[in-house]
Chains A and B, each alone.
Chain A
Amino acid sequence: MAIANEQPLVQVEDVSKHFGEGQTRVDALRHVTIDVYPGQVVALLGPSGSGKTTLLNVIGCILEPSSGRLSLDGEIVYDGRWLKSDLRRLRLEKIGFIFQTHNLLPFLDNTENVAVVLTLAGFDAVKARNRAVELLDYLEVGHRKHAMPAQLSGGEAQRVAIARALANRPRIILADEPTAALDSYRAGLVMDLLRKVALDQNAAIITVTHDEKIFDRFDRIFQLRDGALENKGTGQSKALLTA
């Protein structure tokens, strides 16, 4: 994982975000700067209210920053204002989301849950389905492709959710406490899987987590407190990093 010569996939530069004004002003993010490189699995860590979900929402183009600059996959998307008019399209093309609870659409079977992202991106139904089945096989839940989400175990559902996040081959994957609903064994499996995805697809994976049992699975851990970055601590893979 030679990072030194690579462009960061996610570049957050001096980003601040506040809510309200005057006495009611709350600084959710204060001059945060982080870079995440291809193949990296990083964690956003911090107590409740520290700004980690706000930062994830900013990187996911869900929340507009108050100031700073944001680049995704080498493209500046925010610089004092959004530079892209269709942020949903941007999310569809560049970002995959994994949720705390799998958030699979309960009225679609597993294959359709994965294929829906491709259909939205304009793939024809057959191609979308084939790619969905391929992904489910890759994540070892191919045998459950016709099942409905309600029929899956927590681990299986999270794998299908990961398959959905990967469907469009995004290079940035944002995960919001993906292991919170899983026991430590399954949490470990999911993290192994995310690392495999990051390596296979040369993707950047940013995870919000409170889950201490998986701290050692991250390349880098960004500790947030009161909206500011506290340190750039690293996990077990720190030896691989040059940043």
Chain B
Amino acid sequence: MNLAVRDIRHNLGRFLLTCLGLALLLGVVLSMIGIYRGLVFEALTLVRAPAIDLWVVEADTRGPFAEASRIPGDTREAVARISGVLEAGSITYQSIETMHADRKLRLYLIGYELGRLGGPGNLAEGRPIARSRFEIIADRSTGLRVGERLRLGRDAFEVVGLTAGQVSSGGDPVVFVTLRDSQKLQFDLAPPAARKELARGAAALSSDIVNTVVARVSPNVSPATVAEAVRRWKHLSALTQDEQETILSRSVIERARRQIGLFTSLLLTVSTVIIALIIYTLTIDKMREIATLKLIGAPDRTIIGLIVQQALAMGVIGFAFGTTLIVSIKDYFPRRVLLQPEDALALGIVVLIVCVLASGLGVRAALKVDPAAALGG
């Protein structure tokens, strides 16, 4: 005869309601872990998208994501000629905000050279950019459709293809345009400002500037060796792919990562306290029954079993409800919630440990209760 099961069955509504509350709490914990993972994943998506080995940026900077980096557009040719480099491509990055269909659209715009490194990977829909001007590939999360036109700066661009899951470290959807279009958007002065500059005799500024040059090196050559070779040019710096990923995950999103990590820890602590209080309250409600059990000869293990089994049942059911809930709604979050089985498993184990520890308070109270408390009115 399992007393824990009988007691749960007797108070099923209340028990399930408690489990539901716990499920919501654990769901929030799991979603925070998912948001944390999503943040890292999204940040690395951008840096991993070009599938390259080397990032060439402005000297003494850690660009193009952690710091601004501007280098001449012809740097690509110089890098491509370094021994061991298989191919290279120039890229620009910029955040841009526009209006589309009466709604604000915040985008992360990437300019790349057609046929070179840095373009979108696999397309989910449509075709790659084929013309040198005014075509755009957007991420699905923009809500744009193939064939739609989008105004960027002074020009209208036609959406020719869609990617999936391409977002910046800030969560903005990525759009790809040709390098020339992006350079004009980023570096060209507006016509009135350009006319004023010409009128005061300033030399015409070149807009052939890029933020980075990316390169793929031969499998037989270490990217670090090529990076060292690049650094010998005083006006350039070079970062390997690993270094760039470290900068992104440890620098660019560090504060957000720590913030979410701390919040998740706080939530876990709050969950522990709440679980402990729930189990303690449930135990206090049963004090007379526990005193009766002790009086009629029930050993401590029976009393402990009653409390710990209920705590574990609550943890397991709450965790299962919470996980199901978050898996069901994760796609409705504005930013990616990346749920990994190992995280869910780890949380499940933590919940079980927390339940056992939290039930300690109830067990302590139960073991202290005097059997004589069962006597009298």
Contacts and interface: CB of A to CB of B under 8 A. Distances in A.
Given A53-B376, A57-B375, A115-B1, A97 B295 contact: yes
Interface residues of B, number: 25
B106 to A, nearest CB: 57
B9 to A, nearest CB: 7
B7 interface: yes
Contact of A92 (B1, B6, B297): B297
A159 to B, nearest CB: 17
Interface centre among B6, B288, B298, B375 (most CB of A within 10 A): B375
B298 A120 contact: yes
Interface string B9-52: 11100000000000000000000000000000000000000000
A88 B297 contact: yes
Contacts of B374: 97, 99, 103
A223 to B, nearest CB: 20
B247 to A, nearest CB: 59
A164 B6 contact: no
B368 to A, nearest CB: 14
B291 to A, nearest CB: 8
Contact of B297 (A112, A115, A120, A181): A120
B327 to A, nearest CB: 33
Contact of A62 (B1, B288, B289, B371): B371
B297 A91 contact: yes
A107 B375 CA distance: 19
Contacts of B298: 88, 120
Contacts of B249: none
Interface in A151-179: 164, 176-177
Contacts of B371: 62
A125 B1 CA distance: 7
A91 B299 CA distance: 11
A88 B377 contact: no
B299 A62 contact: no
B10 A99 contact: no
Nearest to A116: B1
Interface centre among B297, B298, B299 (most CB of A within 10 A): B297
B293 interface: yes
Contact of A108 (B6, B370, B372): B6
A117 interface: yes
Interface string B353-377: 0000000000000000011101111
Interface residues of A, number: 35
Nearest to A180: B377
B294 interface: yes
A99 B298 CA distance: 17
B254 to A, nearest CB: 52
Contacts of A128: 1
B3 interface: yes
B264 interface: no
A119 interface: yes
Given A100-B376, A176-B375, A62 B7 contact: no
B356 to A, nearest CB: 22
A120 B289 CA distance: 15
B296 interface: yes
A107 B9 contact: yes
**Among all A-B residue pairs, the 4 with the closest Cβ atoms:** A92-B297, A107-B10, A107-B7, A176-B375
15 contacts: A57-B375, A88-B298, A91-B295, A92-B297, A97-B375, A99-B292, A100-B375, A100-B376, A103-B288, A103-B289, A116-B3, A119-B1, A128-B1, A176-B375, A177-B377
Given A60-B295, A108-B3, A116-B296, 8 more contacts: A62-B370, A89-B299, A99-B375, A103-B292, A105-B292, A112-B1, A128-B1, A177-B377
